[in-house]
Structure 1
């Protein structure tokens, strides 16, 4: 049986929480400021995964307006107690500086596809919560503790407290059960039980190249916990040339056949700057048990290829995606922060209408609909009908990471109301967020008529924009741009503070406040297999 190639969830899919119910496997991953919240993927064989649902999809569950980049939904934990699905998550309102305003919630559902309940507020003492269902029927809430007095090294350990599902709140004393190792920054806790041992799997070392999974165990759930003989059961921190880097924050699952697997986040850097342009992805490793400890096969460095029960079919991964809007938005598409979608977009007559709101990069209300970049090389295009009155109205095609990192090909107008094509960017502009205009010579276009906009990205490092009027061929707009800045390493707060991933999609702004709309006929995302795509290179090297 050929092994599956990592990552199994390519593109922005970090902090995986894996669960098996019968023959079905589920992985929940973080979505941060992108709406709806939490991605849950489904598989029957651990090799082939489909996006099933985003359960936090209404205002009563999640409203992230005003939350900074890389805040929002952190590190969900998905579990099942034999009767009900439980999803625990953090909604982070502030992450920079000494304070973390991080509120933890629980939602439940009788079926994985819902309906999911309104949230129960649990606590705000730290982030990355999980819920452990013990075999005596008790439920335990676990999260990291944040101590603002110790900033910037404010990771104070892992807190444990009983959760009463009838009362819907925490009960009894809270105990700090694990302070972590010298690697520091202990977070992402998950509890498991096997052969009378409680196992505490945590993440350490931050989210960049020192990241790791750390394992400890105890006979009593409250501890004391002894650390694994290896300490860090999975990490790339001592293997700078491994294909999978930034590896950590994992969870485990047992198959029906008795094998155990670890899923974990990872990144695949490109270029001399080692930038992970696809963000933090989800990979899988087989583990084995010895002396009541588990070890990663061929670990602790994660393997690019892993044996799983299923055989991977890559046809969908390489398929061209032509998004039409007759039935609303495709499940691949998301937007930023707001649950009030009628204020930023509508679908009419099979077309997507984006309603011009605040500027590109606004933390409150911007009209941007996009999908994850899941390939190092791809083409994207759309057809837009937009009639701006001046330079304060613009709409078009955008490659986006955050307010500090984007490239935006726009249809706009000059101060005299004449339409033009223009490129704007905010290239690694933290902390000021100032715009740059790499295309200094704007292109005049007729006052009316549809415009075709396109871009290509190659190897995760170069970006070229194109445009065409109706009935004409695409022409280049401006010079080649550095696409690698659409990465955690350049995302405003660098690798330890930028947590999402690159998107590509459609946007519209009206800084006059008149909500002028732009009409989009379709949106196309076409993966490109070329020699610069590491995913393909690694496959060829393996063969």
Structure 2
């Protein structure tokens, strides 16, 4: 009997929405301020997964320039009906305080790898929209309703409205079908139909350590909905011993043989409550009870690391290369850019074949135009190495290797210039928006134009290195605590994860470039 090992999508891959088409399984996950938007992973056995494609690849589909940290794409919903894939997503423009500007859109494609259509605007009444295809051909959208009024429940329930495929817009009355359970913070709704019931699966409790998945059902899509008497059906709350914390925000799928599985969000702390890898995706096997409620197999409500796999033929994928030599005409699928798409004005793989050329733009705190290309950290123990050519001649010019969470939290090994000391290597660290020069530019690099840089991460500790002329690695800056590169630091909620990448800044506006020869990312266990 085969076993699935959780999490199935490691690193920053939250809010999973799963969809089966024939023998193929697809999971869409949130990407927030990272471009391109919405990752799609693919499997044929629910054990082995590969990153297959992205949905939102054009600025016309997703314009995030200026979006706040942890804004952008929230909780996409992927579905399929009658030869067409549907993807609904939220582009969050603001989220701090009483108001949330949450614009919901729909794109479609006849093939999972696209091309995907231009977006159809739906509404802005709340976030986490989901599309349900009923058996009679009608289509319905549910999303959580946000109430900004003082003294009101901000998470004001789940609203339902019909979607007209012909008119490409929402039509008819808006009905609040579910106001949540005592866990509150009701979000992430998905509708399913099984044995004559409409089942409403929601996320509740907030996307931290009290997170949960809850279920309600009704014979009528507009309600009233009966709450599962044993809710929550999935949670990690109250169980700090579990390897998978924050369990919630779930989505359901069945196999051709009628086996049921639930994918869900989870987090794995590296130390105390800090989840540097961000929120990940796990999967649990489920069963239907005789009285028509869904339960995790084995009767528990708690997520398991090892789960019985379905009765499907094994389908592993070829492992990805650890090294990117930048020989392809486009960035490989594991790379993301920050808020803006890669375009020739600041990124090129053709100006110098075999190199990634990045032209410096704005600073690390900018929410507009950063020259930053990065990939997810997906293991507690890993390392990354790059080799760049850079010739700064002004202190406003920098390039190097960065560990990046958001505009407030990062650690940056960078080459720069000092008027008196010349070219030097140093480390910048920003913790909750307060920047500190751990090393300003203290390691002299005068006469050197090629720089080999490396970082080694061991859970909450990072150590940077550079290679000197004697061809061996030299540690620089000492051990650095990187617990601040997490969802849980400091005390406000944010939603992404640690990225490792390459960046260039030229705050003088001359767009000084750096050429990166290669990038290597390797993992040493989960």
TM over 0.5: same fold? Answer: yes
Whole-Å Cα distance in 2 between the matches of residues 450 and 219 of structure 1?
Answer: 67
Alpha-carbon separation, structure 2, partners of 1:311 and 1:481 = 45
How far apart are the structure 2 equivalents of 1:103 and 1:454? 40
- Cα offset for 1:231? 1.5
SS of alignment partner, residue 398 of structure 1: strand
Which range moved further: 307-316 or 68-77? 307-316
Tell me what 1:6 maps to: 6
Matches within 5 A, 1:42-441: 42-150=42-150, 153-271=153-271, 273-290=272-289, 291-298=291-298, 299-309=300-310, 321-327=322-328, 328-339=330-341, 341-348=343-350, 349-416=353-420, 418-427=422-431, 429=432, 433-439=433-439
Are the structure 2 counterparts of residues 505 and 152 from structure 1 closer, same or farther at C-alpha, using a change threshold of 3 Å? farther
Measure how far apart 1:343 and its partner are: 2.8
Instruction: Pick closer, same or farther for the CA change 1:315–1:258 going to 2, 3 Å.
Output: closer
Note if contact 2:83-2:110 (Cα within 8 Å) is conserved in structure 1.
yes
Shift of 1:341: 2.3
Q: Distance in 1 between matches of 2:470 and 2:390?
A: 17
Whether the 8 Å contact between 1:360 and 1:507 is mirrored in structure 2 is: no
Give the structure 2 partner of residue 485 of structure 1. 484
Cα offset for 1:441?
Answer: 6.7
Shift of 1:485: 1.8
SS of the residue corresponding to residue 392 of structure 2 reads: coil
Give the C-alpha shift of residue 438 in structure 1: 1.8
- On the 8 A contact 2:217/2:225 being kept in 1, the answer is yes
Alpha-carbon distance change, 152 to 276 in structure 1, aligned in 2, over 3 angstroms: farther
Distance in 2 of aligned mates of 1:64 and 1:340: 13
Q: Secondary structure at the match of 1:127?
A: coil
Map of 2:510 onto structure 1 = 514
Q: Compute the TM-score of the two structures, normalised by the length of structure 1.
A: 0.93
Shift of 1:150: 4.1
In structure 2, the CA distance between the partners of 1:524 and 1:152, relative to structure 1 (3 Å rule), is farther
- SS of the aligned residue for 2:47 comes to coil
SS of 2:97 mapped into structure 1: coil
By how many angstroms is 1:312 displaced? Answer: 7.6
Indicate the residue corresponding to 2:522 in structure 1. 526
- How far apart are residue 361 of structure 1 and its match? 3.0
Q: CA deviation at 1:344?
A: 2.7
User: What is the match of residue 501 of structure 1?
Assistant: 497
Whether the aligned pair in 2 keeps the contact of 1:408 and 1:425 (CA below 8 Å) is yes
Instruction: Report if aligned partners of 2:424, 2:441 keep a CA contact under 8 Å in 1.
Output: no
* 1:468-487 CA distance string (max 9 Å, x none): 24553111111100122211
Aligned mates of 1:275, 1:73 — CA distance in 2: 23
Q: Aligned pair in 2 of structure 1 residues 316, 110: CA closer, same or farther (>3 Å)?
A: closer
Separation in structure 1 between the aligned mates of residue 318 and residue 460 of structure 2, nearest angstrom: 24
Superposed counterparts of 1:5-24, under 5 Å: 5-24=5-24
**RMSD across aligned positions (CA):** 1.7
Q: What is the CA-CA distance between 1:195 and the residue it aligns to?
A: 1.0
Shift of 1:314: 8.7
Q: Are the equivalent residues in 2 in contact too, given 1:450–1:469 (CA < 8 A)?
A: no
Distance 1:380 1:345 in 2: 21
After superposition, give the CA deviation of every residue in 1:190-243 in whole Å (9 maximum; x if it has no partner).
Answer: 000011100000000111000000100000000000111212100001212111
Which secondary structure state, in structure 1, belongs to the residue aligned with residue 439 of structure 2?
coil
Deviation at 1:507, TM superposition (A): 0.5
Describe the SS at the equivalent of 2:57: coil
Gaps of 5+ in 2: none
1:485 match: secondary structure = coil
Partners of 1:470 and 1:335 in 2: CA distance: 32
Distance of 1:256 and 1:313 partners within structure 2:
16
Distance 1:252 1:165 in 2: 24
Deviation at 1:151, TM superposition (A): 7.3
Distance 1:525 1:243 in 2: 25
The equivalent residue for 1:532 is none
Equivalent residues of 1:452, 1:470 under 8 A apart:
no
Structure 1, unpaired ranges of 5+: 530-534, 536-543
